[in-house]
Amino acid sequence: MISLAFCGLASVLTYAVAFTLPYPLENGLAKPLLHFGRMAGPSLGPTMALVGSLALLFAAYVVALRVCLALEGSRFGLALVLAVGALSSLVLLNLYPIFSLDVFYYISADRIWSVYHENPFVVPPLQGAHDPFFPYTAWGHYPLPYGPLWPWITLIPGLLGGGQIQATLLSFKGLAVLGYLLCLPLVTWAVRGVRPDRAVTGTCLFAWNPLILIELPGMAHNDAIALVPAVFALGLWARHHSVGAALGLAISFLVKATIVVAIPVLLWPSLRRAAQQTRLARWIVTHGIPAIALYFLAWTPFWTGGGGAEGFFREADQHYQSLTTLAVGVVPTTWAPITLRVFQVAILAAFVWYYRSQLLRFRDEGRPAVRVLWRVTVAYFLVVSPFYSAWYMAWPVLYAALLCERRYTVLTTLLCIGGLGTHVVEFVVRPLVVPAVGWVQLNALGLLVAAGPFLVGSWLLNRQEQLDAATRLSGDRRRRVRGIGTAVARCHSRRVRLHGRGIGNHLPELG
């Protein structure tokens, strides 16, 4: 318990000293569009401090996971894990979003609807360029690419901000912190549905993960809100409440569409049982109709303006730090648009085939299904998605927390290290090498940093598993040889004893 408390204290102090104190909200708002590269510059001191603090956070995280294994069943251990996670998120509340300006886009899109009464899925923030928040918005030309529940959620922090820039930013940061805090007990509950013997470790795996804390409470990404109904759905799914799980997945999708990759995996067991029991029509009624009704109900206030298709398509046209970027970059500029579409269709078709093969690997809710969920999610983000962002790794972290298995814990941690490493590429390396290094080379470097630790870790783990299997096979062979030798020796000894009694000549010769 003391070791866990020490790791927690080290983590909280690191977040405070290395992040919140040098980069508070008021410093970041001194000028529009500030980020780590513009606030600290690609100078040696801040860069080394960033890399060192991340190394310390991951070291404390790994040690804490090992300690938690010995604290399973301890209420005090679980309470300490939850308390450190909550305290860390509160420390990060006053941190300026140094790695992402997405929260300013959330604010501007909210004002398009709540202040100017326009449809944010049709009218981009650029149409409100006179708004005092617009200079802080980096993506003002995009209509809102999220789900129809997101504008309703952002009404609250927008009102609390009262039109003041710092107060509004703090309110949106508070929304992300609230989402993270709501996830903590839900993660514990969901882990108990899949791994009841790993509640403390699974909670720590999610709650103390440096990427989770930096990207969700720290950078205020709306994945923190989309995760809340998703975790609740996973807890219901693990307990075979598929109807409630389907509704929770629909709510998460209507906040942000990221969960769509997981929906077929999670609904497959109940759909399969319904088909076997000839209750498919009932399954469609109980699982599909409520989700569809909720979908149309949520879109109703925005439908008059044409819905949100434009924002989704505009976001799909982005490509950076991905295989799509490399494919587009190696062809002439005039071929880029058609190359983009052809490559996306081809890689999506391959992913559908892979996804289908993974669905055949499990039958019911449980750990085999969660393993498949983790694999298809990682494959989508690293291979299929036209753009890569570090905070997307929050979803594999959640699935790894449900599993609490060594392989998936190690690989997920390496994914998080690579994800946070892309910030170093963007805000430190890029200012130093541009324009000497081209856009394609920078994207290739970002993809290498994001996926490199994961690929190396996968190779090492596979190699270790092969060596362990060979060792077990060799041990089995030695045991069989010893067993045969022992049997031969016993037969020979028995023959000698019988020969002494005068009947040994009637036994056959051995060998």
The backbone torsions φ and ψ at residue 326, rounded to the nearest 5 degrees and listed phi first, read -65, -40
* Cα angle value 268/272/277 (rounded, 5°): 150
- DSSP 8-state class, residue 209: -
Per residue of the chain (511 residues), what is the pLDDT tens digit? 899 999 999 999 999 999 999 999 999 999 999 999 999 877 889 999 999 999 999 999 999 999 999 999 999 999 999 999 999 999 999 999 999 999 999 999 999 999 999 999 999 999 988 999 999 998 888 899 999 999 999 999 999 999 999 999 999 999 999 999 999 999 999 999 999 999 999 999 999 999 999 999 999 999 999 999 999 999 999 999 999 999 999 999 999 999 999 999 999 999 999 999 989 999 999 999 999 999 999 999 998 645 555 555 666 667 778 888 888 887 877 887 788 888 889 999 999 999 999 999 998 999 999 999 999 999 999 999 988 999 999 999 999 999 999 999 999 999 999 999 999 999 998 888 877 777 888 888 999 999 999 999 999 999 998 888 888 777 666 677 676 666 556 666 665 565 555 544 444 443 3
Strands (E), 405-450: none
pLDDT at position 507, please?
Answer: 42
State residue 493's pLDDT score: 66
Q: What is the pTM of this model?
A: 0.90
CA distance 347 to 327: 11
Tracing tokens 């096979």 back to the chain, one arrives at 473
Q: How far apart are CA 26 and CA 341, in angstroms?
A: 43
DSSP state of 97: -
Q: What contacts 101, CB < 8 A, 6 or more positions away?
A: 33, 35, 136, 137, 138, 139
Per-position b or e across 406-429, b if 16+ CB within 10 A of its CB:
ebbbbbbbbbbbbbbbbbbbbbbb
**3-state SS assignment for residue 214:** helix
pLDDT of residue 326: 85
pLDDT value at residue 468: 84
Q: How far is CA 88 from the centre of its chain?
A: 19
The reported pLDDT for the residue numbered 481 is 61
C-alpha distances out from residue 379 to 268, 323, 382, 451, Å:
19, 12, 5, 11
